[in-house]
Amino acid sequence: MPFGGQNSNGGQRKKKIAIIGTSALILVAMVVAVAVGFNRSESDSQSAAPTSPPPSVSTTTKAIQAICQPTDYRETCENSLTSAAGNTSDPKELIKAAFNVAIDHISAAIRNSSTLKELAKDSRTNQALSNCDELLKYAIDDLKESFDRIGPFEYEKLDEYVDDLKIWLSGAITYEQTCLDGFENTTGEAGLRMKAMLRSSQELTSNGLAMVTEISSILASYNLPFNVSRRLLSSEDGDDTELSWLSDGKRRLLQATGKTIKADVVVAKDGSGKYRTVNEALKDIPKKGNKTFVIYIKQGVYKEQVMFAKSMTHVMIIGDGPTKTRITGSLNFIDGVQTFKTATVSVIGSNFIAKDIGFENSAGPQKHQAVALRVQSDMSIFYNCHMDGYQDTLYAHTHRQFYRDCVITGTIDFIFGDSAAVFQNCKMVIRKPLDNQNCIVTAQGRTERREATALVLQNCTITGDPAYLPVKDQNKGYLGRPWKEFSRTIIMNSRIDDVIAPEGWLPWAGDFALNTCFYTEILNRGPGSKLDGRVKWRGIKKVPAQRAVEYTPGRFIRGDWWIKAAGVPYVSGMLNV
């Protein structure tokens, strides 16, 4: 193997090292220029002592002011870091201190929330308080993961780290907001008190996201390739890079069927497996496992509510087909259950895979919010699955998610949440609603402009159930509506049937979020894809085809690293359709 020459591996490695070295220098330069610039005191810069003295108070103050400059809550940022950062002027340590302060504030909110139970006058308020306890612990987990990741901070993986941090911090923001959403239909003062208790926590989490995002901005300002490490992982080092969690011969599990797969546990209603219910099988899942644990669920209808908890990582469930193996439930809002807890199946542990299985909430349109599947699992994959319901069918709640060849049915906001989710080659089917209802496919919930989240539909089909077609002109269908202020949805290379009204998008309430949302349609086809009748909000964007690549799974959720290795059918970039 040659070691010299322009095309040799040695030459390529030198180029990589040069780029990595420059990236590291620029990150270090954040000490001196985050946004407005940071100049060390003259006395410090002239010091020639072999061991430098601790940074002066003025130097630390300047560092705090600089790193807080891009945040939306600068006063909160400066006050919190002044009391928590000590004498450091290292930006990495300041960001870690900011994460710690946010964790402390959320922990205090959890402790103090017990006093709010005295104000709970109804069942929904009690549920909201209980949900907050769970959700805020998830927020703390995401902040702790962010803290741990920024600790070692290997510069050659800078972009990977920033992507992870932005996803986890977006998750923490979403969990805090979901806690507050639970009080929307409650009575009494508990909701107002919780909102006041979480105000500082929300501001601090937002500030952490702003600090991390600024690293990206600095790299971009120097015109450096921000996806250095992801190119090393995918194209330069080959497509067969083996991930630890898909090792030990299970890397191509998604090519198997239930009958041919070697499962760790089998569930069967007829007694031919180890267990008759899915919930019984959960006790066999190793906690925090890093190898894929396979549960084969044989043909049958399983009437149970299932939760794959935070500790259940690297789990795969596989059925005999999405119409043959189905998990179904009927919890719903009208019967008194908060939306967050209506899910038939909830998935929290990371690196979850589902194949050839159906998830259903059978409550019906008259029961309003009734979730079939709620997903918080980071780097989760759903392949050839069905999610069936009416209002709020699929709660794509947080983190990175990929759906391939799936069918999602529903009426109102039937794909909603604040995850970074890409749907590739999926079918969205509008069902017949109640007589007084319109139908909306998506309701994305981004609350912060820096959140790395969106719903992306790529080469999907938006169509109608046969029972809906006769009423489509009366009960109109829309692509989406802005659930939260910075709602973001991208629909590209997809077929849109004539089930979508010419306006395309529906307001949430009055002019809320019409100027701040981000909705775009790119290179779509079909009778419902015509753009001339679309609403004229400021938030409706025209994105050129060459920029659309930013929302493909290879770029938007860094899918080449974790989707491609799993063996699921997958296109990294734009599709030629």
Rounded to whole angstroms, how far apart are CA atoms 249 and 255? 12
Vertex 366, ends 415 and 421: CA angle to 5°? 5
**SS3 state of residue 142:** helix
Distances (CA, A) of 82 to 56, 63, 98, 301: 13, 10, 10, 57
Residues 378 and 350: beta-carbon distance below 8 Å: yes
Written as six digits, the tokens of 558 are 């860094």
Rounded to whole angstroms, how far apart are CA atoms 285 and 352? 12
Where does residue 48 rank: exposed (0-12), middle (13-18), buried (19+ CB within 10 A)? exposed
Structural Rg of the chain based on CA atoms? 25
Residues 522 and 548: beta-carbon distance below 8 Å: yes
The set of catalytic residues is 413
Where does residue 239 rank: exposed (0-12), middle (13-18), buried (19+ CB within 10 A)? exposed
User: Which of 423, 372, 414, 420 minimizes the C-alpha distance to 397?
Assistant: 420
Residues 513 and 484: beta-carbon distance below 8 Å: yes
**SS3 state of residue 489:** strand
**SS3 state of residue 394:** strand
Written as six digits, the tokens of 353 are 């895979």
